[in-house]
């Protein structure tokens, strides 16, 4: 009798697990699939910071400018959203536009001093997209 009850609970647990995986978007993978994923991830080389003595300053500038560019793009998207919702006055719109253009120009000028192109300042967020 106990074995039968245990089988019923196990079958019910499997149904619950399947339901949960559908609702959360999670997928159950087998051991073989997990090993294949680990091999695939292991083959990809991670982008790492180069602590070479001669390249440290350039690497730090690249990191700082990348973060500033990310913040600038986020501010630009926020400004566009506010313009579309008409929560900015025409004077505020002009001021924000001018400030964002000045920040972009400054980032580009500093990047040129350290031989950094705009592509060097993009963040690759994988499946999300490049910012």
Structural domain span for residue 87: 56-121
User: Bigger pLDDT: 72 or 127?
Assistant: 72
127 occurs within a structural domain: no
Asked whether residue 67 falls in the same domain as residue 108, the answer is yes
Q: Do 49 and 59 meet the contact criterion of CB atoms below 8 Å apart?
A: yes
- Taking the alpha carbons at both ends of the chain, their separation in whole angstroms is 60
For 11, other C-beta atoms within 10 Å of its C-beta total 10
89 occurs within a structural domain: yes
Distance CA 13, CA 28 (A): 14
Asked whether residue 65 falls in the same domain as residue 106, the answer is yes
Please state the rounded mean pLDDT for residues 17-27. 53
Please tell me the total count of domains within the chain.
Answer: 2
- Residue 118 has what DSSP assignment? G
126 occurs within a structural domain: no
pLDDT of residue 30: 82
pLDDT in tens, 57-101: 888 898 899 999 989 999 999 999 999 999 999 999 999 999 999
Asked whether residue 32 falls in the same domain as residue 66, the answer is no
51 occurs within a structural domain: no
130 occurs within a structural domain: no
Q: Sorting pLDDT into bands at 50, 70 and 90, what band is 129?
A: low
pTM for the model: 0.54
Structure-token pair, residue 91: 């004077």
The torsion angles phi and psi of 88, rounded to 5 degrees, stand at: -110, 140
18 occurs within a structural domain: yes
The torsion angles phi and psi of 128, rounded to 5 degrees, stand at: -70, -60
115 occurs within a structural domain: yes
């Amino acid at each position: 009798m106990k074995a039968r009850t245990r089988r019923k609970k196990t079958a019910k647990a499997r149904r619950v697990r399947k339901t949960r995986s559908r609702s959360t978007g999670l997928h159950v993978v087998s051991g073989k699939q997990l090993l294949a994923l680990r091999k695939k991830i292991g083959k990809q080389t991670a982008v790492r910071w180069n602590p070479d003595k001669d390249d440290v300053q350039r690497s730090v500038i690249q990191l700082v400018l990348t973060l500033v560019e990310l913040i600038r793009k986020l501010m630009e998207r926020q400004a566009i959203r506010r313009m579309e919702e008409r929560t900015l006055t025409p004077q505020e719109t002009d001021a924000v536009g001018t400030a964002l253009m000045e920040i972009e120009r400054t980032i580009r000028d500093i990047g040129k001093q350290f031989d950094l192109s705009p592509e060097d300042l993009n963040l690759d967020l994988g499946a999300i997209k490049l910012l």
